[in-house]
Structure 1
Amino acid sequence: MKVEDIKTRIVFTSSSKPTLEVEVKTIKGSVKASIPFGTSTGNFEVKNLEPKLAFKTFSQFKDALKWQEWSSIKEVDEFLKRVDGTEDFSRMGGNLALAISIAFLKAFALEEGVEVFEYLSKKPRIPLPLCNVVGTWEKKKTFQEFLLFPKHQKNFFDSIEKISQAYHEIALELKRKDKSFNFGRNWESAWVCNLTNEDILEILEEISKKYDLFIGLDVAANNLYEIEHYHYFDKKLNRMEQLNYLEELIKKFKIKYVEDPFEENDFVSFSTLQARLPNTLICGDDLLVTNLKRLRAAIDLKAVRAVIIKPNQVGTLSDTIKFFEEAKKHELKTVISHRSNETDDNFLAHLAVGLGSDFAKIGISGERIVKINEFIRIEEKLS
């Protein structure tokens, strides 16, 4: 494939913050890729650069991308790594590298006249939606996300419809129990309230039964951890107390998915909790940051049964796919995930379906419908 032109521009995320977009033009047409970023980020993610700074770097190798004939996304990604020359894309910016990587993948699909999910796999699969329905603002001393996902999936549309109905019922119940609640939402359009973790879980427990849904949590423990303790607004817990507290909640409310229950370096506590609760998916996000070395360490310690996959944590699609394949090789559940600051790019849906991810973590309202609606369209094409 030969590239005729490559453009870059600044666009805005769902939080009205700037991010970068790359547009690639070939003889078959033009494709675009814009890059989201997180509010809660792990220390081992690749480095993102301010868009204007990234564009200055891009000007140094733009022509090289146009001169060459490209045969695969792996070839493109290897070129990007050579140009950058660092382990964490600190020169080029992981956000720029990923935008180029995704745009080129879309261009390869366009060259072959197929959808992106079809280009990725001959056996695409629709994932289960994992949706954030109640959440917090940055650094608030409580669990970051309260999640719902289907026990059984008839089809994606049916699952989303059930979670949507539960989402609206949860709001009414929050209003009944929290008089200060005024239907406020966070960056991911999850309801924000002033109830305790336990109060929120009690609401979710009742409503999830009605719609045949499981409860999940994203503890985002990095945000709670300071000076060897986990700091909640009503208590301070050491590592063992955190473990016991979570185990008690998981058993009491029959929670089936728990993400980042401990800070990002505590592989041992992840492993201990997973051993105690073999029927719960303990999932690593900040623990793993889509990094193959950290994944292998977690596998050796049996620290998780599920993994979050965020391409912008690692910088290229080739490395994202390697991580995904290693997780599946060891029978771990895969969760392709959005970020807090999202764009109108629907690529995440194609990636999740094309790779055959077990889950897609996508939210349930607001700008998250860009991904949700694309899943619905893809499902129609596959039916």
Structure 2
Amino acid sequence: METIIDEIYALEILDSRGNPTLRVYVELLDGTKAYASVPSGASTGQNEALELRDNKKRYGGKGVLKAVNNVNTTIANALIGMDATKQKDIDYSMIELDGTENKSKLGANAILGVSMAVAKAAAKSLNLPLYQYLGGTNAVRIPVPCMNILNGGEHADNSVDFQEFMLVPHGAPTFAEGLRYVAETFHSLKGILKKRKLATSVGDEGGFAPDCESNEAAIELIIEGIKKAGYKPGKDLSIAVDNAANSFCTNLKDNYNLIWSGKGKMTSDEIIDLAGEWLDKYPIILWEDPLAEKDYKGFKKFTKKYGDKIEVVGDDIFVTNTKYIKDGIKKNLANSCLIKLNQIGTVTESIEAVRMCRDAGWRYFLSHRSGETEDTFLADFAVAMDGGHLKTGSACRGERIAKYNRLLEIEHELGERAEYRWD
């Protein structure tokens, strides 16, 4: 068959933070060539699949030559001769080859690079766009971009504890218009920051990282930016928040210490009450990781109080793993799951996580990582999964814009068939 894998190899490249990652190349018997680059996270859950690093002097211990070698030898030897269109067989062959629960032998970064490159090669060989190859002919929904506009926590060196404040252009008629709404607001906010002599430098994902008087002041700035850009908060643009609560929870259970803002220690109930105050005052429609990954009681209480009003997203608590998602569904810990390809390590397992959410009536929120590359796989994957919304960074930094530009291309290709809606 022409779609038989003929060659697989990897290179060590750099991600958007200047740290090493992998680029994996796949060639098929028909001459089709494709490659994929692997992202890397900074704010990570304890149960994520392992990103294999060399732990030697070069690159401060962050080199990935071991993972590269695993692709070039062990994985290549096992997969060459397999049919690239058999994605599930290929992914589970690598999982079995690794043999560990968290992919620590071969490295989730090595396995994911191959998994994505194989999918790209198969789609290209069949002359199908990747979103259609993975999602079928009914993959026509372009996700609403939840654009990171202000950073804090581990993604910025400032006085804001919560990691991400995002703009959500749910009131736009198309993706292209939604992208315009958030880009214009991004520049509007920049003008406000400059006028107040606040920093306009950006964090890892392209959002601004000013020193604010408080966490709430960050939202006030964004609301002002929305209005200055000529839009109506809550109608045209709303806000999504990612606490990334692991980053300020010392025991990953219920002891919170808002160290960056200097607000000090807070209990789980106090975090939940603060969220309620904000929800009464501001147009927030999504809240990600409001509590730490092991604060199950807090997550359940948060979802019970606010889950009928907003989307409550679990990231570190679920790590795109069906084992933890299933438990979360059973215990009503959230009503949505963040989906990150490198958190679990294969395309197939990411799709299985999406299906589990869909079957349970949960939403699922496709996401990039803070350490990204110019690879646009995520944009196609988001359309294929029909999730309705995506976060992939701000209105600057090329590795973020690449995904948005790819979605513009897809919307153009689909023409009148393209759908854009939040619900």
Larger mean CA deviation between 64-73 and 149-158 belongs to 64-73
- Measure, in 1, the Cα distance between the counterparts of 2:46 and 2:384: 29
- Residue 143 of structure 2: which of 124, 127, 151 is its match? 127
Q: Deviations over 1:101-121 (max 9, x none)?
A: 111111111221111111012
TM-score scaled by length of structure 2: 0.87
Q: CA deviation at 1:333?
A: 1.7
After the TM superposition, which residues 107-256 of structure 1 pair with which residues of structure 2 at under 5 Å, given as runs? 107-120=121-134, 121-124=136-139, 125-136=141-152, 138=154, 142-177=161-196, 179=197, 181-195=198-212, 196-208=214-226, 210-211=230-231, 212-227=236-251, 228-232=254-258, 233-256=262-285
1:169 to 1:61, Cα distance in 2 relative to 1, 3 A? closer
1:52 to 60, 65, 68: 65
Equivalent position SS for 1:90: coil
TM-score normalised by length of structure 1: 0.96
Report the 3-state secondary structure (helix = DSSP H, G, I; strand = E; otherwise coil) of the residue aligned with 1:10. Answer: strand
- Give the superposition deviation at 1:122: 1.6
Whether the aligned pair in 1 keeps the contact of 2:250 and 2:256 (CA below 8 Å) is: yes
Aligned to 2:412: 380
Paired with 1:130 and 1:327, the residues of 2 have a C-alpha distance of: 19
Tell me the equivalent position of 1:74.
88
How much does 1:41 deviate? 0.5
- The structure 2 residue matched to 1:298, chosen from 328, 342, 357, is 328
2:348 aligns to what SS in structure 1?
A: helix
Q: Which moved more, 1:244-253 or 1:188-197?
A: 244-253
One-letter code aligned to 1:229 = N
Q: Matched residues in 2 for 1:137 and 1:171: separation?
A: 20
More moved, 25-34 vs 223-232: 223-232
Report if the CA contact (8 A) 1:77-1:317 is conserved.
Answer: yes
- d(CA) in 2 for partners of 1:345, 1:358: 21
Alignment check: 8 A CA contact 1:208 1:214 kept: no
Q: 2 CA distance for matches of 1:204 and 1:343? A: 27
Q: What secondary structure does 2:13 align onto?
A: strand
Matched, 1:266 2:288: no
Cα deviation, residue 371, structure 1: 0.3
| Distance in 1 separating the partners of 2:347 and 2:128 | 18
Partner Cα distance (2:199, 2:295) in 1: 37
Classify the secondary structure of the residue corresponding to 1:192.
Answer: coil
Structure 1 residue 151 displacement after superposition? 2.7
Task: Choose which of 326, 330, 353 in structure 1 pairs with 2:360.
Answer: 330
2:401 to 352, 365, 369: 369
26, 46, 68: which one pairs with 1:43?
Answer: 46
Pairing of 1:269-348 with structure 2 (within 5 A): 269-277=298-306, 278-348=308-378
CA distance in 2, matches of 1:329, 1:208: 36
Deviations 1:106-153 (A, max 9, x none): 111122111111101221121111110000252766110111102323
Distance across 2 between alignment mates of 1:82 and 1:274: 36
Query: Gaps (5+ residues) in structure 2?
Result: 54-63, 416-423
CA separation in 2, counterparts of 1:302 and 1:68? Answer: 41
The within-5 A match list for 1:26-37 is 26=28, 27-37=30-40
Q: 1: distance between equivalents of 2:267 and 2:348?
A: 39
Moved more, 294-303 or 67-76: 67-76
- What 5-or-longer segments of structure 1 have no aligned partner? none
**Helix, strand or coil for the counterpart of 1:97?**
helix
SS at match of 2:154: coil
Distance between the aligned counterparts of 1:148 and 1:306, measured in 2?
A: 18
Is the Cα contact below 8 Å between 2:21 and 2:39 reproduced in 1?
A: yes
**16, 19, 31: which one aligns with 2:18:** 16
**More displaced stretch, 197-206 vs 42-51:** 197-206
Mapped contact 1:19–1:36 kept (Cα < 8 A)? yes
**Identity %, equivalent residues:** 30
Deviations 1:154-195 (A, max 9, x none): 111100000000011112222334x3x231111111101110
User: What is the aligned-residue RMSD (CA, Å)?
Assistant: 1.5
Determine if contact 2:10/2:25 at 8 Å carries over to the other structure. Answer: yes
